[in-house]
Amino acid sequence: MFFNRILPKPAWLPEVIQRTTPEELDFLRSHPRLASSIAEFATVDEVLALLPRFAAAAAEAKAAPVPELISGGELTYEPTQWVWPGRLARGKLTVIGGAPGSGKTTLAMELISCVTTGTDWPCREGVAPRGSVLLIAPASDPDTFVPRLKAAGTEFARLHTIRTVKEGTRSRRFNLDKDIASLDPLIKGIKDLQMIVIDAVDVPSGRDRGAARAAGARFDALAELAQRHNVAVLAIAHPVGADYLSRKPLSFGALPLTAVRAAFLIEADPARADHRLLLQVKNEIARDPGTLSFCITERENPDRPSESAAGVRFAPQKLALDPREFTARQARGFNSAKAEAIEFLRGLFAGTTHHKVRAIEQEARAIGLLGANQPLSQCRALRDARMALGVMAMREGFGKDGAWVWVKPEVMELQQEQDEPRSEPRGESNPPDHACGQSAQPAASVTSPAPMSARPSSGYITENCPPA
């Protein structure tokens, strides 16, 4: 008998078998744990009272899933509420990754300080909304992160931390996979919560598909947590099994970032050994806010002047270096000739969006990047530099009057948008006139290049921070 395997000859067994339906018995057979707990009841009435409820729950669970169809007119959304404009948003999950020892946690401590005190973000990117922060750091000890928070000027009255979970009389480390559901009542009890920092979320350092799926499930749970409580969640990605001595960069390529709305990577600055770069990897809610440069400095503890801790100091200017160019610079075969070619093209396109190939060849010969009779197509350094900067080659005009030009990527995107056919509104035989009587301007028009002496300098840091 089925019940004999649960509890030998319970007193209510004969009558329960007679008074239960086959569906209820099938349900018990498919749920041995439930049947085992039911076997502890002493009376027949108690057992029979529970069976219909469990059977109904099982029938509901077995119901075929039905996709929810929503009309486009019923779709709604709320404007993005920024904690750090372009980088951290309420209700969204942001991930910061980097090699071991790259300064991820130190940067997170700086962000916590900015939010709890409501101070300015670097490079005039706005002011942090002053509020509370929840720090979940199960693998850290207070003597490792508290000095850094104090040195950064954190307002501790607005900081809440979770490191352990109490089970009965024992405590264990907080486990993100097991304990995330228990955060809901705690989060609701924190007044004016702006940000949750998770230090850290384990991610695979290689291409382990199983570990990548597990990391994706953690990101999904954190994204749901952010949306449920309308709070910004910042997850620090910790590469499991990474070598701290080699400082091999973390690759986001193998990670499932479907639930992540923005992701940034900390890389070593190849131009300055003591600086790091904060590069955008993914951003679904804003344009690229720009590459920030920062260094790890030593700060004194204001409460204990004899003690010091690591802190972050941002450079006053953003870098004119996007992730695409950084990747090109880190590729094998990158050398000083390609670096010089990149700086040459950046300076050449600083004041214009187009350049004819002939004009580029003349400028390149003037500084020695091209030989006297060498065409641009035979210079690999300039071709690679064009690819690194995203500059595109296109043909302008036809026949003898036509010429090849190199164009900035944003101009090509605008050209493609205007070239797309658009359906004419019903009831209108003529397209609408342009506003204010202005005629349509062509998307691509070759502008005469400014002389090299009139162009701005093309140093490594060239992009000033926007005005406040």
* Token representation of residue 6: 């649960």
DSSP label at residue 274: T
Tokens 């986001």 sit on residue: 252
Average pLDDT, stretch 283-297? 93
Tokens 């296109």 sit on residue: 394
Q: Which has the higher per-residue pLDDT, 239 or 22?
A: 239
Count CA atoms within 13 Å of residue 416 on its CB side. Answer: 9
Walk across the sheet containing 159-162 and list its strands. Answer: 159-162, 132-136, 193-204, 232-240, 93-98, 262-268, 275-283, 292-300, 308-314
- Give the CA distances from residue 23 to residues 36, 223, 354, 393, 419, in Å, rounded to whole numbers and listed in that order: 18, 39, 75, 70, 64
* Domains of the chain as residue ranges with CATH: 3-61 (no CATH), 82-319 (3.40.50.300), 326-418+442-454 (1.10.10)
Distance separating alpha carbons of residues 140 and 229, to the nearest angstrom: 25
Number of residues in the chain: 468
Helix locations, 195-241, DSSP H: 209-229
* Token representation of residue 67: 């996709």
378 in Cβ contact with 371 (< 8 Å): no
Give the model confidence (pLDDT) of 110-140 as tens digits.
999 999 999 999 999 999 999 999 999 999 9
Average pLDDT, stretch 262-288? 87
Of the listed ranges 66-70, 260-264, 267-271, the one predicted with least confidence: 267-271
Average pLDDT, stretch 226-249? 79
Average pLDDT, stretch 206-230? 87
- Flag whether pLDDT at 457 surpasses 70: no
DSSP label at residue 241: T
- Flag whether pLDDT at 20 surpasses 70: no
Average pLDDT for the chain: 77
Of the listed ranges 27-41, 387-401, 443-457, the one predicted with least confidence: 443-457
- Determine what percent of the chain falls in helix, strand and coil, rounding each to the nearest 5: 35, 20, 40
Residue 7 CA from chain centroid, whole number: 53
Tokens 């980088």 sit on residue: 87
- List phi, psi (to 5°) of 317: -130, 150
Distance separating alpha carbons of residues 248 and 98, to the nearest angstrom: 9
> In 3-state terms, what secondary structure has residue 350?
coil
Give the model confidence (pLDDT) of 146-201 as tens digits.
999 999 999 999 999 999 999 888 999 999 999 999 999 999 999 999 999 999 89
Distance separating alpha carbons of residues 346 and 363, to the nearest angstrom: 13
> In 3-state terms, what secondary structure has residue 266?
strand
Q: Which of 147, 150, 151, 112 is nearest to 132 (CA)?
A: 112
Distance separating alpha carbons of residues 180 and 186, to the nearest angstrom: 11
pLDDT over 70 for what percent of the chain? Answer: 67
- Flag whether pLDDT at 280 surpasses 50: yes
Distance separating alpha carbons of residues 343 and 115, to the nearest angstrom: 37
Q: Which of 179, 189, 186 is nearest to 221 (CA)?
A: 179
Radius of gyration of the chain (CA): 31
User: What does the DSSP assignment read for 128-160?
Assistant: PPP-EEEEE-TT--HHHHHHHHHHTT--GGGEE
* Token representation of residue 133: 């922060």
317 in Cβ contact with 291 (< 8 Å): no
Q: Which amino acid is at 67?
A: P
Of the listed ranges 77-86, 99-108, 247-256, 283-292, the one predicted with least confidence: 247-256
Give the model confidence (pLDDT) of 378-436 as tens digits.
888 888 888 777 788 888 877 777 888 888 876 655 555 555 555 444 444 444 443 33
Sign, CA dihedral 27-28-33-35, equals: positive
Q: Which of 177, 178, 142 is nearest to 162 (CA)?
A: 142
The pLDDT of residue 193 is 97
The pLDDT of residue 329 is 63
24 in Cβ contact with 52 (< 8 Å): yes
pTM for this entry: 0.65
Q: Which has the higher per-residue pLDDT, 181 or 7?
A: 181
